[in-house]
A and B are shown apart, each in its own frame.
Chain A
């Protein structure tokens, strides 16, 4: 109970003076959804970023338009760790609904900045405490009643800037960036921010140890969310058809794409778009259109989340069996059904890899960073067209919807524009014969023709039913097994073409860590913790695609114990590893995090340490 906790805190001796904590703290801002808090949060994050300090931001929001509690965490890390930090150093409490909870969430020795009207003052004596009448200040700063509510949050940014010594010029710059073309809105927000700053200067006495100091670790870098990065990648990858159905947390991927495409994908000669984006009536239609478009030669994709993946299952099987290229972005969330639609997960790994009825197996790319979102979005089209099958991109809510700092994306000169084995009318003219499903090159990948190709040999009949090498209907057992074996061989060959895993460490450590996707950021920090605190050396392999690259079994074989760290309940990737490499399954151990909040380093360090102690 809260009261117990508060009493206990009350017995604590007055805090001993602390040393300054520079560029290494986490802030949690508690606000109400739909109150304009997102802009304020982004401004604070960007201001710290512009001071050259590595920073990350995570939005913990409800499935709601307005009125429910939402939290935003900002982490500044001079060491460059950008995973979520479980411990909260500094809380900004603006929401009456969660005030008590927010008070309790500050770590001992931390700080709380609260709306004065909440009456939280002196409820804990083990933290620094600041009270500010935010609503009152906002009312004074802005006369327009309608705007007042929306800019109240910017007042807290001003207070924090003062308390943390953030350069006010950077805050102003961040506000201008946030509101871009709307200069009036920017000015009003700057006014609100200054009101907070002035108030803090004259009324608050700094008593917490946290502050920022200019660094030089973000020069030339960008801030972008994974969905926007994927949208950019798809655009630069030559995507021509996007069909989709809105679903959190994937919606912003296509919405961002619309913004970029209408700006950068208009044919200058005709003024017409070189793409089509269609909102379908459901996910069944979205993937159906992708399959139809891919069959007819477009670089087609859709974007969805778990429930959409379930609905797309039948079509994905058709794509596999009839060999039609398709790209599906799955921005994973917690399921099933609605589950926790605004919380993150890696819960679709197993279902995506084997999606559909019968024997199926799909290529999946698993980005961990926004830069990989950008690159994999392009590579996914090359792989889909090269292998004539569905390619998944398994992102997640944490990556897709949160802002991440990143090196600027390099122009993809190194990513080809591979349209795969498509025969033109001219090429058909020089061939003896064309059989749609004949393995001419011995790689399991047949040649295809596009509808509309003006050559008598071009047409073939695409079907989900059994077919022979000439695409003729067949129920002969031999034809079916030959087809299924070739498809297995084809996907198996993809192992050499998908992004290989990234291995860190000398290879001599006794234990290995294996992870994928956004878990990566916590792993980097966890390995440092294990080394510094437990003296445990680890090697680390980050899987970036399915089917597994040839390096994977070697890494498993080279380590006594391999911890597979995942953000799902059942150890889904571990299950695939065990199935594909049963000889190594005894080495595998799971560390699983599945509460909907992004995994943090401390959780992994604790779990690995405990399991290691059991072994010893």
Chain B
């Protein structure tokens, strides 16, 4: 915590009095230059700037390179490295136990689009309140370079093997399933990523961030469509995005016609400065069309693709108790003697 005796720290502290260091984790053990490490850095920055209480955060992941990263941020939060493709159910369970937790899940394209596609789909369908980051590199890194289900048609492995199967577009899938916050970004675009992460923090419900995160070891070569070079060249920016937290006034340089402002449930705002087209991120149909169009051109559309801040999340749908179920006191969790007697009488 910030202390008055440490003026340097106090100057660089966030609204909770915590400094960036408080949001860091262990040293990464991924390959040097891995896109995932860039995502990790932006998670640290976003959570720090937003002023998230670390003890309320739970970091979850499945299996794979991406799933290792929760160890590299927020060491002051509980973490759970679960089983392959099934982090969504663990996160859902944690939310059921304690609705006040802020779950952030980190997954990969293999963990989400292949083995975990079922749980991913149902997570979105339930609208479990959590941030779900897919670090998407189109390749299985930990097992040394097999195709994943997001690998582009015709993309080539180092060994020369060509992918004959069409990719699953996770954002299109999420929009189709009614996910209330769907964003795509690129590990090499820290500014956009931070704003999208902060918007995700403000969103109530599942927030999906599909982040193109090049694999420097297995999928960063000429033939790859998920290399740094390819992504940089073909990224189509929807809008420049900025995030205004709920504790800051929103009125600053708002230009009608050029920007669109989306109010999140906690009172914060996302401002989208349009780049070259008339894009409405609150319209599901046009969002889907835009994703499909860029997919056809083998380009990445980045930015906030779809947002619906009003959709009720699972906690609301269940009508859950305001207090965490995990710590329900015994007198509320165990019915009294009279209840059992009443039931026994009905069975006699």
Contacts and interface: CB of A to CB of B under 8 A. Distances in A.
Interface of A: 220-224, 232, 235-241, 243, 260, 264-265, 267, 270, 272-276, 278, 280-282, 284-300, 314-315, 318, 408-409, 411, 417, 449-456, 458-465, 473
B97 A459 contact: no
Contacts of A282: 118
A381 to B, nearest CB: 10
Contacts of B344: 222, 408-409
Given A288-B90, A297-B98, A460-B78, A272 B320 contact: yes
Interface stretch (B158-166, B234-242, B327-335): B327-335
B332 A280 contact: no
A282 B118 CA distance: 9
B326 A238 contact: no
B80 to A, nearest CB: 4
Given A273-B319, A284-B119, A289 B93 contact: yes
Can you list the 4 inter-chain pairs with the closest CB atoms, starting with the nearest? A292-B93, A288-B89, A297-B326, A296-B97
Contacts of A465: 81
Nearest to A223: B347
Q: Identify the interface centre among B54, B80, B322: most chain A CB within 10 Å of its CB.
A: B80
A449 B326 CA distance: 12
Contacts of B332: 267, 274
Given A291-B93, A461-B79, A452 B56 contact: yes
Contacts of A270: 321-322
Nearest to B76: A459
A300 B89 CA distance: 13
Interface residues of B, number: 58
A238 B328 contact: yes
Given A284-B119, A315-B83, A462-B79, A240 B333 contact: yes
B289 interface: no
A284 B88 CA distance: 11
A573 to B, nearest CB: 29
A288 B60 CA distance: 12
Interface string B10-26: 00000000000000000
Interface string B302-332: 0000000000000000111110111110101
Interface string B37-80: 00000000000000001111010100000000011000111111
Nearest to B99: A276
A206 to B, nearest CB: 31
B81 A462 contact: yes
Contacts of B106: none
B277 interface: no
Contact of A292 (B54, B91, B318): B91
Nearest to A239: B333
Contacts of B93: 241, 243, 288-296, 298, 300
B339 A315 contact: no
Contact of A288 (B97, B119, B347): B119
Contacts of B82: 288, 291-292, 318, 464
Contact of A236 (B53, B119, B334): B334
Nearest to A50: B348
B291 interface: no
A462 B78 contact: yes
Contacts of B191: none
Contacts of B265: none
Contact of A289 (B90, B98, B325): B90
Nearest to B343: A232
A299 B333 contact: yes
Contact of A281 (B75, B96, B118, B348): B118
Interface in B80-122: 80-83, 86, 88-98, 100-101, 118-119, 121-122
Contacts of A455: 55
Given A291-B82, A417-B333, A452-B101, 13 more contacts: A240-B328, A272-B319, A272-B320, A272-B321, A288-B82, A289-B89, A289-B93, A294-B97, A298-B98, A452-B324, A452-B326, A461-B81, A465-B81
Contacts of B78: 449-452, 458-462
Contacts of A315: 83, 86
B321 A462 contact: no
A465 B334 CA distance: 36
Contact of A238 (B86, B88, B95, B333): B333
B337 interface: yes
Q: Identify the interface centre among B53, B75, B89, B122: most chain A CB within 10 Å of its CB.
A: B89
A270 B341 CA distance: 24
B340 interface: yes
